[in-house]
Amino acid sequence: PYTGPSAEKVLQLRKTYLSPSLSMHFRKPVMIVEGKMQYLFDEKGRRYLDAFAGIVTVSAGHCHPEIVKAVNKQSELLQHTTTIYLNNQIAEYAKELADKMPGNLKCVYFVNSGSEANDMAMMLARAHTGNWDMISLRNGYHGMSMATMGACGHSTWKQPVPQSFGILHAMNPDPYRGLFGNDATKYAADLQDLILTATSGRVAGFMAETIQGVGGATPLVQGYLPAAYKIIREAGGICIADEVQTGFGRTGTKYWGFENQGVQPDIVTMAKGIGNGLPLAAVVTTPEISASLTKRLHFNTFGGNPVCSAGGRAVLRVLDAEKRQEHCGVVGAHLLKRLNQLKDKHSIIGDVRGQGLMLGVELVKDRHTKEPAKDATVEAMERMKDMGVLMGKGGLFGNVFRIKPPMCFSKDDADFLVDVMDEALNKL
């Protein structure tokens, strides 16, 4: 049993010594002291079903025994030296990760967070093309470093300080709220117009999530990415897929989110689920693009350290051995069906979307005006927590439930979640 300080004491410590700009997920905070696969436990031993996976980070499951074993074994052998010496773990891991990539995406850089990965990707794009302007999407999220904050398309996540200049934001091809509905050609025309009017006509690259995560599990209109990639390449740019949330089979149909739109990126960035909770991230690109950085050295102290590499390798093995991609497809389809039935019952549900175990439920006051039901979302989330389900939240207006559990989430868990959501919405 837990023997540390009480939740009240921890809250007091946090308020005194940690950043005041941290957000708290619930009005009455939950303290989590233990995790096991798709379940989390508070300091009193109460169990919660985890529908958010540490913000889409725990892929295989909390404290998955195989991954813990691999990490512990490596921790006892060697924790750190950096890449100034040879070590088998990082080299074997790079090969195993590259084997998961389509085409000529065979050169791997290991870093420690999604922000670092996207920073690196933008640097590669600029170094390779000799162009400066980058384009990302409104409502996208790419990180909190100065450069990636500039790439974010959310006022919520932009401090009022100068961010990396030279990043432009194209109209978001959002099927639910986007101005052009489901028409990929119109969003692509906006991208073309942005290049013609706001850049020299030549760009370094384009970066997009393949389903926007923080933006509320918002898929991009089908057909948008192929059109956008073509326009960017014609303007001399390269295409970056941010797979920080959508990778490793979470969408069910494909291992990588971008494959769902049939595109082949030049750079793929990954973080979160790649490490099942370890601080690990990666950038994968082609040998040609990576050659652009060889005029100088490039270094990262912890990137690909033996412990995280051993853990990352175990994640790849476990997800394959447990057939998690297929599982996400089956459980996700069942969950989507049940959530759509719930939409028929509750008019507050304006939209149900996503695929695999990357789903969103958007709450609105009125289905025609789509006015966001932000307070109701907060209220329902709190009630779901009291009934034992930890739900995610997001979207530009904070009115979207984000359902992105550990990938071991079962059909029974899905049914429990929907029943609890039903009850929480009944009580509003």
Binding residues for ligand PMP, per CB under 6 A? Answer: 55, 113-115, 118, 141-143, 209, 213-214, 242, 244-245, 271
Report in angstroms how near the CB of residue 156 gets to ligand PMP at its nearest.
Answer: 12
Q: What's the closest the beta carbon of residue 356 comes to ligand PMP, in angstroms?
A: 16
Nearest residue to ligand PMP, scored by beta-carbon proximity: 114
Amino acid at 230: K
62 DSSP 8-state letter:
B
Phi, psi of 218 (to 5 degrees): -95, 115
Smallest distance, Å, CB 4 to ligand PMP?
26
Pick between residue 118 and residue 377 the one whose CB is nearest to ligand PMP.
Answer: 118
State how far the alpha carbon of 230 is from the alpha carbons of 124, 226, 233, 235, 256, in Å. Answer: 19, 6, 5, 9, 20
Task: Provide the minimum distance between the beta carbon of 23 and ligand PMP in the complex, in angstroms, as a whole number.
Answer: 12
Q: 65-77 and 306-321 are packed helices; what angle lies between their axes, rounded to 10 degrees?
A: 160
| Nearer residue to ligand PMP within complex by CB, 55 or 387 | 55
Q: What is the closest distance, in whole angstroms, from the C-beta atom of residue 257 to ligand PMP in the complex?
A: 10
Shorter beta-carbon distance to ligand PMP: residue 43 or 266: 266
Instruction: Report how far residue 363's alpha carbon sits from residue 50's, in angstroms, rounded to the nearest whole number.
Output: 20
Task: Say if CB 36 and CB 408 are below 8 A apart.
Answer: no
3-state secondary structure of 101: coil
Q: Find the largest Cα–Cα distance for the chain.
A: 62
Nearest 5°: the CA angle 349, 350, 352 is 80
Which residue lies nearer to ligand PMP by CB, 117 or 420? 117
- Give 50's strand partners: 390
CB of 116 to ligand PMP, least distance (A): 7
| Distances 268 to 104, 182, 254, 273 between C-alpha atoms, Å | 12, 26, 15, 14
Under 8 Å CB-to-CB from 168, ≥6 apart: which residues?
A: 133, 134, 135, 136, 194, 198, 199
Beta bridge partners of 70: none
Tokens of 398: 């904070």
Which CB atom, from 154 or from 334, has the smaller least distance to ligand PMP?
A: 154
Shorter beta-carbon distance to ligand PMP: residue 120 or 271: 271
> In the complex, what is the shortest distance from the CB of residue 160 to ligand PMP, in angstroms, rounded to a whole number?
20
Q: Tokens 């429990």: give the residue.
A: 416
Nearer to ligand PMP, 142 or 250 (CB): 142
Q: What minimum distance in Å lies between the beta carbon of 283 and ligand PMP?
A: 12
Q: Which is nearer to ligand PMP, 274 or 328 (CB)?
A: 274
